[in-house]
Chains A and B, each alone.
Chain A
């Protein structure tokens, strides 16, 4: 997998606050989710990718260049959709998108044609002559996407692109993001604090917590981290659970569904034997797959646990 963003040991401090505390990560092709709670360091990382700030320590490479020293060359190949409203309301959508395409280096004639194409792509072809201020939140969000696409970026950075959108608009926006990657071949980094959004849209994810990468990789690889079995029965779930616990297996019961901890092979034999002995009907026995939520929560838990280690706490206190 070729990396479009490669960061090593990135540290960024804002005064006494450490926004990024040694981030090392590789972002590959396709759609990559940048996942983390508010304040996890997502926006700071995007700022470093854009070359808006210099890291205090570490290095970053975007599209093979260092954005701190080759900022203009990097940024002319990046598209950026900021989290907040960022459009002058009395300018027509077409004028704005064309202007931003020119600002990204396109000759005027090309910018004119491509602004129109980008607005049609995001579904605003008929609305392109309307002032941005007269548009709905969803339409303005799509204008921002069109403005980020018109100059044909190699990498698109989306900072919370579904903020303020209703469920239908959100679906449309995420569908557009998938299309941009799948049909146009533009790599995307989607920053979000919504697990479901990343799970639906992304090929890979980077999970940030307290300025550190706590997990990263393809969604398939991250989900494979789940162990144990999911068992569905047609009754007497508690009886089966009690019997399984006697064989030293950890079991959680949720209605007619049991989650059995431990290696799937050993668990499956024990479940089969216990179900046969107590005449419990099995509907489904399946190896357990972690959801992104499981991965995220586990990563957050490990981050909190680490931050409570005495040595680490001292070190971080000194750092701040």
Chain B
């Protein structure tokens, strides 16, 4: 006699455990992160985010190849390989592009398509909703702010061009992680705050790029014309990367104290987070 049987489950009542707010935050963060990367969506939705991620890893791959293939003396003599902090200089455009894509993709469609009302009809509150969104964006941005320097470290280590000894390796690893988190946190706050001002992704993306470019050009021009160097602390496309330089003990381009840089990064991040929270607490959700 066959063991085959018809399994007819159908809709039934559920009396198992419920995971509450923590489960809701985890699910929303995961769903939003996948969405930001275009996963489980059309090919066109994957194109730009994956291209930006790819671009961020190209220089690291080339440098690791150079370290592996060329003789050590030649590499040392010509200074072909960049420092870990300098690496951001090669990929800043890819980071800006990625930041301009991720924040709007994570935040805008929920308001545009009124999914926000459905989320707030679940165990999520406005604050836990925003926490989930931040938890989605930080690791996704870390793909370009943390991943490439990590690849560089691993590649250099295997190519014998890396740090000497476990102590130095751990030191650099800690700096890479701290630097990646600083850049990801600052740009998460800025991109989400900008995205909270409109429900159109394209407008939010353009706004983020504009803010980063304008703050850079304007402060640069003012300082060049003799204004105080500290004005550069308003330059959003420089401030996080300058702090990363200080993490490696390098002077960087802005002649201000490290404390001022830490304060500027904190101020930008907290101000953007406050704007984001204020926007969402003012939204009237009736349906």
Contact of B113 among A71, A85, A95, A118 (CB under 8 A): A85
B173 to chain A, nearest CB (A): 32
Q: In the bound complex, what is the Cα–Cα distance between A82 and B114 (angstroms)?
A: 9
Q: In the bound complex, what is the Cα–Cα distance between A286 and B261 (angstroms)?
A: 88
Known: A86-B114, A117-B9. A50 touches B27 (CB 8 A): no
A89 touches B125 (CB 8 A): no
Q: In the bound complex, what is the Cα–Cα distance between A73 and B19 (angstroms)?
A: 10
Contact of B121 among A52, A89, A117 (CB under 8 A): A52
The reply to whether the CB of A47 lies closer than 8 angstroms to some CB of chain B is yes
B118 touches A105 (CB 8 A): no
Q: In the bound complex, what is the Cα–Cα distance between A110 and B19 (angstroms)?
A: 12
* Chain A residues touching B, range: 35 or more
> Which residues of the other chain, B, contact A157 by a CB distance below 8 angstroms?
121
A83 touches B287 (CB 8 A): yes
> Which residues of the other chain, A, contact B45 by a CB distance below 8 angstroms?
90
Q: In the bound complex, what is the Cα–Cα distance between A214 and B35 (angstroms)?
A: 47
Residues 231-257 of chain A, each 1 if its beta carbon lies under 8 Å from chain B, else 0: 000000000000000000000000000
Q: In the bound complex, what is the Cα–Cα distance between A106 and B123 (angstroms)?
A: 11
B129's closest neighbor in chain A, by CB? A103
* Chain B residues touching A, range: 35 or more
B122 touches A76 (CB 8 A): yes
Q: In the bound complex, what is the Cα–Cα distance between A41 and B19 (angstroms)?
A: 33
Total A-B contacts with CB atoms under 8 angstroms apart: 122
B121 touches A78 (CB 8 A): yes
> Which residues of the other chain, B, contact A102 by a CB distance below 8 angstroms?
23-24, 26-27
Known: A84-B287, A106-B19. A100 touches B109 (CB 8 A): no
Q: In the bound complex, what is the Cα–Cα distance between A83 and B114 (angstroms)?
A: 11
The reply to whether the CB of B165 lies closer than 8 angstroms to some CB of chain A is no
B127 to chain A, nearest CB (A): 11
A185's closest neighbor in chain B, by CB? B13
> Which residues of the other chain, B, contact A76 by a CB distance below 8 angstroms?
18, 20, 122-123
B123 touches A72 (CB 8 A): yes
Contact of A100 among B40, B41, B122 (CB under 8 A): B122
> Which residues of the other chain, B, contact A184 by a CB distance below 8 angstroms?
11, 13
The reply to whether the CB of B285 lies closer than 8 angstroms to some CB of chain A is yes
> Which residues of the other chain, B, contact A90 by a CB distance below 8 angstroms?
41-42, 45
The reply to whether the CB of A88 lies closer than 8 angstroms to some CB of chain B is yes
Contact of A43 among B14, B16, B31, B286 (CB under 8 A): B286
> Which residues of the other chain, B, contact A118 by a CB distance below 8 angstroms?
11
The reply to whether the CB of A99 lies closer than 8 angstroms to some CB of chain B is yes
Known: A72-B125, A95-B40, A152-B14. A107 touches B287 (CB 8 A): no
A87's closest neighbor in chain B, by CB? B113
The reply to whether the CB of A92 lies closer than 8 angstroms to some CB of chain B is yes
Known: A99-B31, A104-B24. A44 touches B286 (CB 8 A): yes
> Which residues of the other chain, B, contact A152 by a CB distance below 8 angstroms?
13-14
A104 touches B123 (CB 8 A): yes
Residues 136-164 of chain B, each 1 if its beta carbon lies under 8 Å from chain A, else 0: 00000000000000000000000000000
A103 touches B119 (CB 8 A): yes
> Which residues of the other chain, A, contact B226 by a CB distance below 8 angstroms?
none
A141 to chain B, nearest CB (A): 14
> Which residues of the other chain, A, contact B221 by a CB distance below 8 angstroms?
none
B14 touches A151 (CB 8 A): yes
The reply to whether the CB of B12 lies closer than 8 angstroms to some CB of chain A is yes
> Which residues of the other chain, B, contact A104 by a CB distance below 8 angstroms?
18, 24, 122-123
Q: Which residues of chain A in 40-81 are interfacial with respect to chain B, using CB atoms and an 8 Å cutoff?
A: 43-44, 47, 50, 52, 71-73, 75-76, 78, 80
> Which residues of the other chain, B, contact A106 by a CB distance below 8 angstroms?
14, 16, 18-19, 23
Interface centre among A85, A89, A105, A159 (most CB of B within 10 A): A105
> Which residues of the other chain, A, contact B31 by a CB distance below 8 angstroms?
99
Known: A71-B125, A88-B115. A103 touches B10 (CB 8 A): no
Known: A103-B28, A107-B19. A117 touches B14 (CB 8 A): no
B114 touches A103 (CB 8 A): no
A87 touches B11 (CB 8 A): no
Known: A76-B18, A83-B287, A86-B115. A103 touches B124 (CB 8 A): yes
B11 touches A149 (CB 8 A): yes
Q: In the bound complex, what is the Cα–Cα distance between A50 and B27 (angstroms)?
A: 21
A113's closest neighbor in chain B, by CB? B9
Q: In the bound complex, what is the Cα–Cα distance between A80 and B122 (angstroms)?
A: 9
> Which residues of the other chain, B, contact A110 by a CB distance below 8 angstroms?
14, 16
> Which residues of the other chain, A, contact B110 by a CB distance below 8 angstroms?
88
Residues 7-51 of chain B, each 1 if its beta carbon lies under 8 Å from chain A, else 0: 001111110111111011011100100000000111001000000
Interface residues of A (CB under 8 A from B): 43-44, 47, 50, 52, 71-73, 75-76, 78, 80, 82-92, 95, 99-100, 102-108, 110, 113-114, 117-118, 120-121, 147, 149, 151-152, 157, 159, 184-185
Can you give 22 contacting A-B residue pairs, CB < 8 Å? A50-B120, A50-B121, A76-B122, A76-B123, A80-B118, A80-B121, A82-B114, A82-B118, A82-B121, A82-B287, A83-B287, A85-B114, A86-B113, A88-B115, A99-B27, A99-B28, A99-B31, A104-B24, A105-B18, A105-B23, A117-B9, A152-B14
Sample of 13 further A-B pairs with CB below 8 A, known A76-B123, A85-B114: A47-B285, A72-B20, A72-B24, A75-B121, A82-B118, A86-B114, A86-B118, A102-B23, A103-B23, A104-B18, A104-B24, A107-B23, A110-B14
Interface residues of B (CB under 8 A from A): 9-14, 16-21, 23-24, 26-28, 31, 40-42, 45, 109-110, 113-115, 117-125, 285-287
